[in-house]
């Protein structure tokens, strides 16, 4: 129920954060 939705939201947030961090790293490395 509600807990599952919250867990999924947290996982999605973490995955998005990881993607953003990875992109920043690539940009810094490219520069």
Question: Which tokens go with 20?
Answer: 């953003």
Q: What is the pLDDT of residue 23?
A: 67
Specify the pLDDT at position 28: 66
Q: Can you read off the two tokens belonging to residue 2?
A: 């509600």
What pLDDT score was predicted for residue 27? 67
Tokens of 9: 């939201």
pLDDT tens across the length of the chain (31 residues): 788 888 888 888 888 877 776 666 666 665 5
**Overall pTM > 0.75:** no
């Amino acid at each position: 129920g509600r807990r599952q939705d919250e867990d999924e939201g947290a996982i999605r947030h973490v995955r998005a954060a990881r993607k953003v961090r990875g992109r920043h790293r690539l940009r810094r490395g490219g520069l």
